[in-house]
Amino acid sequence: MYDTGKIITGLIIFLCLITFPLWYNAITGKAATKPELKIITKEKQCVEATPFMRDSHMKLLIQWRDQVVRENMRLYKGSDGKTYTMSLTNTCLNCHSNKEQFCDQCHNYVGVSPNCWNCHIIPEEKS
């Protein structure tokens, strides 16, 4: 192989650069700050179990949205048997009225910016 030294050095520099975000975060410890959710409601359970809400709330919200707007269905029977009005503003945000300490925590961590809040009104922060 010609120019072995140059190629190997080049490859090492390339690998260093491409893995930059990984080791940069490892060194500065930024990735270690996990999102901390603050739940300020007295309710024991959300409309579904916590693990389901954690990974599928976006699917649930989209289902709610389509059912309410397009099918005129307004009520949702949660797994606890209770009936809820399907409404982001009037049901979800009643308990989770602290967007900055709840929604934004994970959304910022994973780098998603849902556009719900362009139209749906954020309640005033209560801590």
Task: Provide the minimum distance between the beta carbon of 91 and other proteins in the complex, in angstroms, as a whole number.
Answer: 11
Could you give the CA distance from residue 16 to residue 60 in angstroms, rounded to a whole number?
41
Task: Provide the minimum distance between the beta carbon of 64 and other proteins in the complex, in angstroms, as a whole number.
Answer: 8
- Which CB atom, from 50 or from 118, has the smaller least distance to other proteins? 118
- Which CB atom, from 67 or from 105, has the smaller least distance to other proteins? 67
- Contact set with other proteins (CB under 8 A): 63, 65, 67, 69-70, 72-77, 83, 85-86, 89-90, 115, 118-121, 123
